[in-house]
Amino acid sequence: MSEQLPPSESGPAGSAPAAGAPAAGAPPVTHLNVRQAAFIGVGAMVGAGIFALLGAAGAVAGAAVWVSFLIAGAIGGLQGYSFAKLGARYPSAGGLLEYVAKGFGDGHTTGVTAWLTYWANAIVTAMVAVSFGSYASSMLTGEESAVWIKVFAALIIIIMTAVNIVGSQLVANAQTVIVYVVLGILTLFAVVTLVNMNPHLLAPSGYPPLKDIISSVALTFFAFLGFGIITFTAKDLANPSRQLPRAMYLALGIATVIYVAIALGVFGTLTVEKVIASGGTALAVAAEPALGKAGYWLMSVTALFATAGATNAGLYPAPGLSERLAETGQFPPLMARKLGGRASNGLLIQAAVCVVLAVVFKLDAIASIGSAVALLIFTFITAAHFRVRGETGANAAILVVAIAAAAVVLVTFIFTTLIHEPASIITLLGVFVLSIGLDLGWKRARARGHKPAQAAH
């Protein structure tokens, strides 16, 4: 249920409304609760990642993928500690970008990071939408047709954009339904596979060297990237300083438990070779011994819900982010305007970029870009936090460990994954150049626009 301001907060009868209260006759102010905010994060995390990651992670970490998820969850927890402390002190619609501004000011560092965040969200959201298109095409047409994948990908982006235009309450309600369905089915899957698993397949004697397990964290951490979305719910919480940290820890806790349980279930049911060969259908294949053909369809339906939820959650930050950054001068005012008084330009532009990426590009070649950019942004945010730790009351040692952990994962990711993908490296550089160019171009135009006004005075 959403939280509403009690009638008493509108002031006594016949008196003027209290500050911040809705005007007479206005609809009651609604807020998200902790569960709804957490589920927006869970919906962003438990998306395409868990369905596509197991084979790739298994190729590196073998049956120890569950350990890799545990380490990735711990690193996410360190970043979550930093984000929660910042969110409690600086609740804002600008979310994690507000935190960068507090540490580094409103200069080019924050501006470039803002544009990087905007494009990273678009890339990851488009990638998830393509995953939805793949499952939808397979289920509804009997094959993964390239044309139908693009059609379904564009369709889910358009539908979820409409959901976000209606408002945060519909986003939260949609995420609640989606997350309950996804968690329910994944919990059933985990229980069934854990009960029927072969413990010998998980014997530590068969694990690869520790360095390989650490290397796989660069892959499994991708499944946790969505938790940063929770910081953008601050504007919709009644008491963000208390609720935001709770939502952050709840989302990370749920995701970590689910991921570890699924990894144990899959690798305890199938050999490492079988998981690698199964690729994105590893969960469905692992469910078949106990659930038969119904297991395949059950996991395919789960994938549709999960990827739809991740698309919804990926678009959610765009309106608040654009409006807040336009207020602080980081984005042009155009980004904060609303078409028809309701549809945020920031949301519409991001949705259009997502559709173009999903329809025109083969995102499997650049999917890792979103992960690399997000890791860089996380490192920036915690570094900014370190500069203002006196205001948030955060433990300096924990922040140092968080910075080091994110940096290590990023470097590992570059040298174990990106180094073998020239197209991804070129695209990553292109995203950086575009972000720097947009920041410099807008701020120079803004400075030129201020000169006549100053001369007039």
Tens-place pLDDT, residues 266-280: 999 889 998 888 766
Q: Determine the average pLDDT of the residues in 59-69.
A: 91
Residue 446 lies in a domain: no
Query: What pLDDT sits at residue 52?
Result: 65
Tell me how far apart the alpha carbons of residues 48 and 70 are, in angstroms, rounded to a whole number.
Answer: 19
- pLDDT for residue 67 is more than 90: yes
Average pLDDT score over the chain: 81
- Most confident range, picked from 117-131, 190-204, 208-222, 329-343: 190-204
Identify the residue with better confidence: 70 or 419.
Answer: 70
Model confidence pLDDT, tens digit, residues 19-31: 344 544 544 557 7
Residue 424 has pLDDT above 80, yes or no: no
User: Is 447 within the bounds of a domain?
Assistant: no
Mean pLDDT of 335-362: 86
Reported confidence tier of residue 12, pLDDT bands at 50, 70, 90: very low
List, in sequence order, every residue forming a beta bridge with 338; answer none if it has no partner.
344
- For residue 21, what pLDDT is reported? 46
Within-domain flag for 63: yes
Q: Which range marks the domain in which residue 210 is found? A: 32-290+306-438
Q: Map the chain to HEC letters.
A: CCEECCHHHHCCCCCCCCCCCCCCCCCCCEEECHHHHHHHHHHHHCCHHHHHHHHHHHHHHHHHHHHHHHHHHHHHHHHHHHHHHHHHHCCCCCCHHHHHHHHHCCCHHHHHHHHHHHHHHHHHHHHHHHHHHHHHHHHHHCCCCHHHHHHHHHHHHHHHHHHHHHCHHHHHHHHHHHHHHHHHHHHHHHHHHHHHCCHHHHCHHHCCCHHHHHHHHHHHHHHHHHHHHHHHHHHHECCHHHHHHHHHHHHHHHHHHHHHHHHHHHHCCCCHHHHHHHHHHHHHHHHHHHHCHHHHHHHHHHHHHHHHHHHHHHHCHHHHHHHHHHHCCCCCHHHHCEECCCEEHHHHHHHHHHHHHHHHCCHHHCHHHHHHHHHHHHHHHHHHHHHCHHHHCCCHHHHHHHHHHHHHHHHHHHHHCHHHCHHHHHHHHHHHHHHHHHHHHHHHHHHHHHHHHHHHC
pLDDT tens for 238-266 read: 888 888 889 999 999 999 999 999 999 99
Q: Does residue 348 have a pLDDT over 90? A: yes
- At residue 368, the pLDDT reads 66
> What pLDDT score was predicted for residue 136?
86
pLDDT of residue 280: 65
6 pLDDT exceeds 90?
A: no
CB 179 within 8 A of CB 42: yes
91 pLDDT band (50/70/90 cuts)?
confident
Q: Scan for tokens 């990237």, then name that residue.
A: 225
11 against 342, higher pLDDT: 342
The fraction of the chain above a pLDDT of 90, given in percent, is 19
The answer to which of 56-70, 142-156, 181-195, 407-421 has the lowest mean pLDDT is 407-421
pLDDT for residue 364: 55
In the chain, the number of structural domains is: 1
Between the ranges 196-205, 314-323, 356-365, where is the mean pLDDT highest? 196-205
* In a domain? residue 295: no
| pLDDT of the residue at 143 | 72
Question: In the predicted model, is pLDDT for residue 129 greater than 50?
Answer: yes
Amino acid type, 321: L
Measured CA to CA, the distance from residue 376 to residue 361 in angstroms comes to: 24
Give the pLDDT confidence score for residue 217 in this predicted structure: 85
Number of alpha carbons in the 13 Å side-chain half-sphere of residue 234:
27
> How many other C-beta atoms are found inside a 10 Å radius of the C-beta of residue 140?
12
Quick one: tokens of 183? 């968690």
Residue 449 domain-assigned?
no
Tell whether 150 is covered by a domain.
Answer: yes
Q: Give the model's pLDDT for residue 88.
A: 82
pTM to 2 decimals? 0.75
In-domain check, residue 444: no
Query: Which amino acid, residue 304?
Result: L
- Asked if the model's pLDDT at residue 8 lies above 70, the reply is no
- Is residue 455 pLDDT above 60, yes or no? no
Percent of the chain scored above 70 by pLDDT?
88
Distance from C-alpha of 47 to C-alpha of 358, rounded to nearest angstrom:
16
Does 409 fall in a domain? yes
Instruction: Supply the pLDDT for residue 49.
Output: 66
- Residue 1 corresponds to which amino acid? M
Spatial neighbors of 223 by CB under 8 A, at least 6 apart, are: 45, 46, 49, 50, 53, 69, 72, 255, 259
pLDDT band at residue 182 using 50, 70 and 90 as cut-offs: confident
What is the rounded distance in angstroms from the CA atom of residue 376 to the CA atom of residue 120? 11
- Report pLDDT for 5: 38
Q: What mean pLDDT do residues 204-216 have?
A: 86
What is the CATH number for 168? 1.20.1740.10
Cα–Cα distance between 197 and 120 in angstroms, integer?
38
Q: What is the mean pLDDT of residues 299-322?
A: 83
User: Is a pLDDT exceeding 50 seen at residue 16?
Assistant: no
Q: Residue 14 above 50 pLDDT?
A: no
The C-alpha angle 151, 343, 436, rounded to 5 degrees, equals: 80
Higher-confidence residue of 425 and 438: namely 438
